Amino acid sequence: EAQVTQNPRYLITVTGKKLTVTCSQNMNHEYMSWYRQDPGLGLRQIYYSMNVEVTDKGDVPEGYKVSRKEKRNFPLILESPSPNQTSLYFCASRPPGLVNVGEQFFGPGTRLTVL
Amino acid sequence: GNSVTQMEGPVTLSEEAFLTINCTYTATGYPSLFWYVQYPGEGLQLLLKATKADDKGSNKGFEATYRKETTSFHLEKGSVQVSDSAVYFCALSGSNDYKLSFGAGTTVTVRA
């Protein structure tokens, strides 16, 4: 089954404790991205990756890091989480090309709470 | 830059009622337009799309028409079911843009 998986699905942590949210896709997609979803703001892109070893900032990259060492994986790293990073996070992937920009496959989401 | 404005929710309807969710956009050139749906506890799924003016996207009884003259892409369904309860997001991608811009989302609850 074609899918994007994320782990963990739920995480409660404390300010300053480094964490990683993993994302993996099995569709051989080159493009992957991370979003955060907040009430009234919709989805905002954090980082994206056009291919292995190619990453770039989205609209709200502050406080986040990513890496893309393999095509299938795109982990999101919070080096020093703060309460304003409490949110619902989604990983997404899609086939390459402008024509496929809207054909995104989303993971199930990770609910993060930073105390 | 590109932006999407959706009607605010939440929207509560009875089964078999008519649903409309308004969406307007600001973009240069000829964007592509999308509706995504997020069922409770799940990620977003592409519901329908339209890539040029006057195109009508449709899926699962939902429809939306790309109206360039009014810069709108309103979502409609003639007879909703309880299973249509979800959050609906309007989104666009610019004509030369790899980025997808989302609206704030509209929560729809359908009561039996």
Q: Name residues 76-95 of chain B within 8 A of A (Cβ).
A: 89, 91, 93
Give the mean pLDDT of A5-13: 97
CA dist B6 and B109 (Å) reads: 16
CB spacing of B42 vs A45 below 8 angstroms? no
Can the peptide bond before residue A96 be classed as cis, meaning omega within 30 degrees of 0? no
Q: What is the pLDDT of residue A89?
A: 97
B34 touches chain A (CB under 8 A): yes
CB spacing of A108 vs B41 below 8 angstroms? yes
Which element (helix H / strand E) includes A106? strand A105-106
Task: Kindly report the nearest CA distance between residue B66 and chain A, in angstroms.
Answer: 15
Chunked into runs of 10 residues, chain B (112 residues) has average pLDDT values of 88 97 92 94 92 94 96 97 96 82 94 96
Which residues from chain A sit within 8 angstroms of residue B4, using beta carbons? 42
Q: What is the pLDDT of residue A96?
A: 80
CA dist A65 and A55 (Å) reads: 10
Select from B4, B99, B104 the Cβ nearest to the Cβ of A40: B104
Q: Which of A63, A113, A68 is nearest to A91 (CA)?
A: A68
Q: Which of A75, A77, A89, A74 is nearest to A18 (CA)?
A: A77
Select from B34, B41, B42 the Cβ nearest to the Cβ of A102: B34
The DSSP bridge pattern shows strands B32-38 and B11-14 to be unpaired
**Tally of CA atoms within 13 A in the half-sphere of B110 that contains its CB:** 19
Q: How confident is the model at residue A112 (pLDDT cuts 50, 70, 90)?
A: very high
Q: For A48-106, write each residue's pLDDT tens digit.
A: 999 998 999 999 999 999 999 999 999 999 999 999 999 999 999 998 877 777 889 99
β strands within chain B, DSSP E: 3-6, 11-14, 19-21, 23-26, 32-38, 44-50, 56-59, 62-65, 75-77, 86-93, 100-102, 106-111
Q: What is the pLDDT of residue B8?
A: 80
The CB density around residue A62, as the number of other CB atoms within 10 Å, is 8
Task: Note whether B33 and B89 are within 8 A (CB).
Answer: no
Task: Note whether A74 and A49 are within 8 A (CB).
Answer: yes
Query: Is residue A8 classed as helix, strand or coil in its secondary structure?
Result: coil
A83 class by beta-carbon count within 10 Å (0-12 exposed, 13-18 middle, 19+ buried) = exposed
Q: Which of A30, A68, A26, A28 is nearest to A47 (CA)?
A: A68
Measured in whole angstroms, the distance separating CA B43 from the mean position of its chain's CA atoms is 16
CA angle A91, A94, A95 (to 5 degrees): 155
Select from B41, B99, B104 the Cβ nearest to the Cβ of A42: B104
